[in-house]
Structure 1
Amino acid sequence: MNSQRIIVPKMSSVIAHEARSRAILRWLVRERVVEAALSTCGSTGNRMGHALAEGARKIALHPERVPLGEPFNGMEVVLKRCIYTPTDGFLEEAGCPGCRREVGEPLFDSLEEWMPGLTDNFTCPLCGHEDDINGFLFLQPCAFSNLGFIFNNWGEAGFTPAFIEQFADWLDQPVAVVAVQR
């Protein structure tokens, strides 16, 4: 089964997202987590990605499960506004951090305005609390952003907490790790 672990900043519009993605890529290449050159190791779009390198084992919770040598094991960088949710079993439930009540249906309906960039924010219809859509409470990890890092076939390898913390530091933003089974 093809799986992905996607690291996404919890911010709709990351400022200078292309420059930040290049800085993160340089960091991952220096750490030998990924290769510098693009190859056909991705699984989305044009299938171009940065193949995993031997250093990927040091960022994995389960190093023996890192998909080194698999054909679709690359890291892809997404530089456009996307919705990152699990594909199977996503509950589409969200809560307001202001009133702590369920606002899932109206929030997910608002994505029609969020996706084309008409807004980054959502306003709770129950209490009026307004925040970046990522500021609302979700039962499952998900994120909405103009930047994402897809690790293909990462499966059960997982990421170490230290790596996720470093990734968030490089982005200067909290991140979500979204698990997708395809």
Structure 2
Amino acid sequence: MGDRFQVLVDSDVSAEEAPRLAENVRGWLVSRRIIEPVLSDCTLGESGHPPGAAHTTVLENPSSDAFRYLTNGLEITVGRTFFWTPYTDLTCRMCGARFDPYSDPWVDAVGVWHQGDDSATFDCPKCGRPERVAEWSGESPCGFGNLGLTFWNWPPLSSSFVREMTELLGHRTVLVRGKL
């Protein structure tokens, strides 16, 4: 069956600002009862916040809920991270070529970005056009950033909630969806 995830990635928050912003977002979500204030083993990561009593208010279809799965919480990731959907190709914006993101050159380029080089580039394997690593995408969006909010096994989030979260974060965001 697999686990589904939705990650709202703040694309622009600095490493220094990310912990404070993560705490602000956590407090905001708790105050609206979207998540519980306590941490538990409800995510595939180290720990997360279980859905709160009002979590259905942020869903595309409020009649669904996230309680039917054991893995169903919000995991807040602070630190330089590449968020992506496994098993999907990346696509060159110039020539449209698709390629496997498991290739060594791509993995190496992401590693350079992960070490702190925001200007790290990757050349398209077909046309050779260089593009900043953080600008690549494909069938599914990729997110590069210092703050990610992973909703494990929640039904689709509403577009109004994603907009509201983007406003709260105060930066560009990317919504990455996938299944493991």
TM-score clears 0.5 = yes
- Distance in 2 separating the partners of 1:91 and 1:12: 26
* Aligned 8 A contact 1:11 1:173 in 2: yes
RMSD between aligned alpha carbons? 2.5
C-alpha distance 32-71 of structure 1, shift in aligned 2 (>3 A): same
Relative to the length of structure 2, the TM-score reads 0.81
- Aligned partner of 2:146 in structure 1 is 146
- Aligned partner of 1:166 in structure 2 is 164
- Distance in 1 separating the partners of 2:78 and 2:22: 8
The Cα of 1:63 is off from its aligned counterpart by: 2.2
- Aligned partner of 1:74 in structure 2 is 73
The Cα of 1:19 is off from its aligned counterpart by: 0.3
* Aligned 8 A contact 2:83 2:176 in 1: yes
- Distance in 2 separating the partners of 1:72 and 1:13: 29
The Cα of 1:139 is off from its aligned counterpart by: 4.0
- The size of the alignment, in residue pairs, is 170
- Distance in 1 separating the partners of 2:163 and 2:16: 20
The Cα of 1:25 is off from its aligned counterpart by: 0.5
The Cα of 1:140 is off from its aligned counterpart by: 1.9
Within 5 Å, give how 1:1-182 maps onto structure 2: 1-11=2-12, 13-44=14-45, 46=46, 48-68=47-67, 70-87=69-86, 89-95=87-93, 100-101=94-95, 109-117=108-116, 119-123=117-121, 133-136=133-136, 138-154=138-154, 157-182=155-180
Secondary structure at 2:175 match in 1: strand
Relative to the length of structure 1, the TM-score reads 0.80
* Aligned 8 A contact 2:82 2:144 in 1: yes
Secondary structure at 1:4 match in 2: strand
Kindly provide the amino acid, as one letter, of the partner of residue 67 in structure 1: A
Identity of counterpart residues, as a percentage? 21
C-alpha distance 116-58 of structure 1, shift in aligned 2 (>3 A): same
Secondary structure at 1:65 match in 2: coil
* Aligned 8 A contact 1:12 1:120 in 2: no
The C-alpha deviation readout for 1:156-176, integer Å capped at 9, x for no partner, is x21111111111111111211
- Distance in 2 separating the partners of 1:141 and 1:77: 19
Gaps of 5+ in 1: none
Gaps of 5+ in 2: none
The Cα of 1:22 is off from its aligned counterpart by: 0.4
